[in-house]
Structure 1
Amino acid sequence: MMNLQAGKNSVTFKSFGVDLAGDLYLPEGFDANKTYKAIVGTSPFPQVKGQIPAIYGPEMAKRGFIYLGFDFLGMGDSPALPGEYMKSRYMFRLIENTWDAVSYLGTLPFVDEIYGLGVCQGGSILASAAVTDHRIKKIATVSGMMAADAFQWGNRDIANMMIAGANASKQKMYETGEADYVWPNVINDTMSREEFVATGTPMADDTYNFYGKDGVAGPGKVEHFTNEHIGDQAMESLISIAEHYADKIIQPTLVVYGPNAATAICSTAFIDKLTNNPEVLAFDEFSHVDFYWKPEAVKASTDAVAEFFNK
């Protein structure tokens, strides 16, 4: 066993035959001879472990938990598969990466029960993974995108445009053997706030607060992060798995969200489909992205998650 200590520890674990890079956050006074409740953390699209995991990891460790944040396959410090491209963040693989993260935590002798905490797209990944992974004993989602059909398919013309672009990108990459990168969230790494807001993108100001070049965790501020992404992403991100299997989830579930956020329906529609009597916490004062970084929002969500996991 490597020499682990309280705070952040760099680790790797196998998934799809390659080493995924992770940060394992351990609580103050960590003692490898004791056992702890552990959390696998799943992050928003298109984040790397220096963003949400680097915010939520220390907070959950401060509350006595072990927290594993990691870079999904082809993201950040984790390699792509041989012959494939970086930033190919495909939902089906994200789920399997999460299963493997759970397996890794299960090898640690100081880990007791394993829980899951997903933020934004991470909520969808986690909920999907938990359907058939009962090693995950409880799940919590924050600003989760679990029920994304209404959000993503509300305007079929826009959805079809995204699909057409993704299809063309996939064909181009197959024929050329080269990566085709785009700006799927419309924001690029050089835009000012004014330029991005002027595009009329929903949640533009909120999004820029985190992902913009002047945002709290944008390009240049977080290692290996860029808003650029692989061009065929929409072919998988438009397939929302969690909401269609919500009634199969048996683990105790906590859903934290902002009812005034544009993404609220992704939580409320999921809650409506759950059959496991979920706990729900709605914070009127916080937006979708507030839960990523604003100290008061992060404290509210991590306090709630800690209380839920400690029950």
Structure 2
Amino acid sequence: MKSLVLTAVTTALLAGSALAGDIQTRTVSFENEGSRLSGTLYLPSDHEPGDKLPVVVVTGAWTSVQEQMPANYAREMVERGFAAFTFDFRGWGKSGDLPQNVRFVESPEAKTADIRKAFEYVASLPEIDASQIHGLGICASSGYMVDAVAGNPLVQRVGLVAPWLQNHEIVETVYGGEEGVAGLIEVSRAAEAKGGEIIPAAGPEGAEGVLMPIGGYYYEADRGAIPEYDDKWNNAGWEGWLTYHPADNPQRLDKPLAVVHSEAAAIPQGVRAFLQDFAGDATMQWLEGVSQFDFYDNPEDVERAADTIATFLSEGDAQ
């Protein structure tokens, strides 16, 4: 039975429960399909050996690395009583043991497989209660997270923040109609044929030869343009991205779902399309006037989204 409601009282109570103090982090690594991925385990400062905690695996927007929005939400989850786990997808950030010409490909298939392996890895850690594993996808990785969670017996619940859930119609709207999409697919195939074609991911508004010529989060040093950010995009990834339509298949998700979004953020119509045919339990919170980038790092908006997701995940832990 669908339930698109958020209990404001429980959210308000949880908002006041975040604990101050340092957070323990540990750098780890795990393997998937012959590649070594770098990850970070986040634990409360007072965590003692032998204590087992519920965990949230957090993934971020396209082209991102774990030190960006995933780290922000990982810390928020720890402050609300969870362990958290972030990692760099293969070919991105510190998970770079791929040939240069095939790095920085935004591959939904590969990233979904990496998330599944991350769930398997955290289930093996002594700090983790393997019966309480959850997923949290932000922006583009929301579709990957849904795919990785669907049918996965290791995972109990999934949350999505500012999810980019596209379908064929949205893809054409965003990327220049049928002609624009066809042109980018041609670019993708040409880049793949020559072993990859890497361009800057971020740039100032109006810049040419850049994936995101819009300024803002990825371009600002005090926001997403951190030293760890690759700031790269491989044009060979266009076809896989443009033909990926996660909003079209909500039936695959067999776990309770919570979504936080805003009409002022990117493609809210994708969420509505997804939820329209989602048959499971869903909690939906719409925040007013929050941009896509503000969901990544604006403290007030991150905290409100984290409160909603943590409340929802805690309901599963209590069962």
Range of TM-score over shorter length: 0.7 to 0.9
Q: 2:104 aligns with which of 84, 87, 105?
A: 87
User: Is the counterpart of residue 29 in structure 1 residue 36 in structure 2?
Assistant: no
Aligned to 1:253: 257
8 Å Cα contact 1:128-1:241 kept in structure 2 = no
Q: 2:140 aligns with which of 121, 145, 156?
A: 121
SS of the aligned residue for 1:136 comes to: coil
8 Å Cα contact 2:39-2:85 kept in structure 1 = yes
Q: 2:122 aligns with which of 102, 105, 118?
A: 105
8 Å Cα contact 1:27-1:63 kept in structure 2 = no
Q: Sort the Cα spacing of 1:85 and 1:147 in 2 relative to 1 into closer, same or farther, 3 A.
A: closer
Residue-by-residue CA offset, 1:258-294 (whole Å, 9 max, x unaligned): 1222421122211112110311000112111110010
SS of the aligned residue for 2:54 comes to: strand
SS of the aligned residue for 1:298 comes to: helix
RCO (CA 8 Å, sep 6+): is it higher in 1 or 2? 2
* Correspondence list, 1:277-292, <5 A: 277-292=281-296
Q: 1:162 aligns with which of 184, 195, 208?
A: 184
SS of the aligned residue for 2:39 comes to: strand
User: Is the counterpart of residue 41 in structure 1 residue 58 in structure 2?
Assistant: yes
Aligned to 2:314: 310
Q: Supply the distance in 2 between the matched residues of 1:268 and 1:18 (Cα, whole angstroms).
A: 36
8 Å Cα contact 2:211-2:233 kept in structure 1 = no
SS of the aligned residue for 1:226 comes to: coil
Aligned to 1:58: 75
Number of residue pairs the alignment of both structures matches: 288
Q: 1:238 aligns with which of 238, 242, 265?
A: 242
Q: Supply the distance in 1 between the matched residues of 2:259 and 2:47 (Cα, whole angstroms).
A: 29
Which consecutive unaligned segments of at least 5 residues does structure 2 have? 1-21
Deviation at 1:91, TM superposition (A): 1.0
Deviation at 1:17, TM superposition (A): 2.2
8 Å Cα contact 1:258-1:284 kept in structure 2 = yes
8 Å Cα contact 1:208-1:215 kept in structure 2 = no
- Runs of 4 or more above 4 Å deviation: 201-204
SS of the aligned residue for 1:310 comes to: helix
Residue-by-residue CA offset, 1:28-62 (whole Å, 9 max, x unaligned): 21123122110111111010111112211111111
Q: Supply the distance in 1 between the matched residues of 2:103 and 2:212 (Cα, whole angstroms).
A: 27
Residue-by-residue CA offset, 1:240-264 (whole Å, 9 max, x unaligned): 2532331121100001101222421
8 Å Cα contact 1:166-1:233 kept in structure 2 = yes
Q: Supply the distance in 2 between the matched residues of 1:130 and 1:142 (Cα, whole angstroms).
A: 15
The root-mean-square deviation of aligned C-alpha atoms, in Å, is: 2.3
Q: Supply the distance in 1 between the matched residues of 2:47 and 2:302 (Cα, whole angstroms).
A: 23
Which consecutive unaligned segments of at least 5 residues does structure 1 have? 174-178
Provide the TM-score with structure 2 as the length reference. Answer: 0.84
Aligned to 1:139: 158
Residue-by-residue CA offset, 1:154-201 (whole Å, 9 max, x unaligned): 32122112111111111121xxxxx42124x6x43xx3xxxx1588x9
Q: Sort the Cα spacing of 1:103 and 1:241 in 2 relative to 1 into closer, same or farther, 3 A.
A: farther
Q: Sort the Cα spacing of 1:21 and 1:228 in 2 relative to 1 into closer, same or farther, 3 A.
A: same
8 Å Cα contact 1:50-1:222 kept in structure 2 = no
User: Is the counterpart of residue 217 in structure 1 residue 228 in structure 2?
Assistant: no
Deviates more, 1:79-88 or 1:60-69: 79-88
Provide the TM-score with structure 1 as the length reference. Answer: 0.86
8 Å Cα contact 2:171-2:242 kept in structure 1 = yes
- The residue type paired with residue 91 of structure 2 is G
8 Å Cα contact 1:87-1:229 kept in structure 2 = yes
Deviation at 1:214, TM superposition (A): 4.5
